[in-house]
């Protein structure tokens, strides 16, 4: 078997299901394990959700993550296009944030499960999808299989969208406050960069 694999590598005839590099194998295993942990977390938290809006977010995200997990697993095991195309997650919320800080109680660890609330649930959900984005980025950069790389890359915007949806929910309910710089400081930073003058056609500098 080892001799056959060695010959396959030399001749470029590696079967699709073995078309994976070593780093890819480890990193995609982390992605799949992370997805399972996220789904388990959502399942454990679902019985404690009180807000119908948060329950709707959790249910929709859990279903999407489950389908995305199956697609990733399929192309990883076969090395070929999955039987279902990758999808794009769409959130229901608008994208309005309330800026500024208001006095609030300091955060601290819970002492018992009785303290589980919508704020802690949404925070756990947010941490889970953020962690998934990091693992998928690392795995996509290390994947040699083009199908796996594409599926992982296509899933990154979904992680971002889900994290954004949760953060908007948290902000609307006062769980996540967003500070802002003074307008003068923001303006100075916004004006701290100028456009590139490199010609996109020739690679040379544009005339002034």
CATH number for the domain that contains residue 157: 1.20.1260.10
Assess if residue 7 is contained within a domain. no
Q: What's the N-to-C CA distance of the chain in angstroms?
A: 64
CA–chain centroid gap for 162, Å, is: 8
Residue 134 has a pLDDT of 96
What string of pLDDT tens digits covers the 208 residues of the chain? 444 455 455 556 767 777 777 888 899 999 999 999 999 999 999 999 999 999 999 999 999 999 999 999 999 999 899 998 989 999 987 888 999 988 888 888 999 989 999 999 999 999 999 999 999 999 999 998 999 999 999 999 999 999 999 999 999 999 999 999 999 999 999 999 999 888 767 766 766 6
Assess if residue 4 is contained within a domain. no
Q: How many domains does the chain have?
A: 1
Expressed as residue numbers, the domain containing 64 is: 14-91+116-190
Residue 208 has a pLDDT of 61
Assess if residue 147 is contained within a domain. yes
Whole-number Å distance between alpha carbons of 129 and 134:
9
Assess if residue 108 is contained within a domain. no
Assess if residue 110 is contained within a domain. no
Q: Could you tell me which of 148, 176, 175 has the C-alpha nearest to residue 72?
A: 148
Assess if residue 141 is contained within a domain. yes
Beta strands in 36-164 (DSSP E): none
Assess if residue 8 is contained within a domain. no
């Amino acid at each position: 078997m080892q001799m056959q694999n060695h010959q396959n590598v030399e001749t470029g005839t590696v079967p699709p299901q073995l078309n994976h590099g070593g780093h890819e194998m480890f990193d995609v295993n982390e992605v799949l394990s992370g997805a399972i942990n996220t789904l388990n977390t959502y399942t454990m938290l679902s019985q404690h959700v009180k807000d119908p809006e948060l329950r709707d977010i959790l249910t929709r995200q859990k279903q999407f993550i489950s389908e995305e997990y199956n697609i990733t697993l399929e192309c990883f095991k076969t090395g070929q296009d999955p039987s279902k195309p990758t999808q794009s997650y769409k959130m229901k919320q608008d994208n309005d944030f309330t800026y500024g800080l208001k006095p609030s109680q300091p955060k601290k660890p819970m002492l018992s499960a009785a303290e589980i609330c919508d704020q802690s649930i949404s925070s756990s959900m947010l941490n889970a999808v953020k962690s998934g984005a990091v693992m998928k980025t690392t795995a996509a950069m290390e994947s040699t299989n083009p199908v796996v790389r594409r599926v992982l890359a296509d899933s990154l915007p979904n992680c971002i969208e889900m994290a954004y949806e949760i953060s908007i929910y948290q902000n609307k309910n006062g769980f996540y406050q967003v500070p802002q710089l003074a307008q003068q400081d923001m303006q100075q930073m916004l004006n701290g960069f100028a456009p590139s003058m490199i010609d996109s056609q020739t690679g040379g500098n544009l005339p002034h």
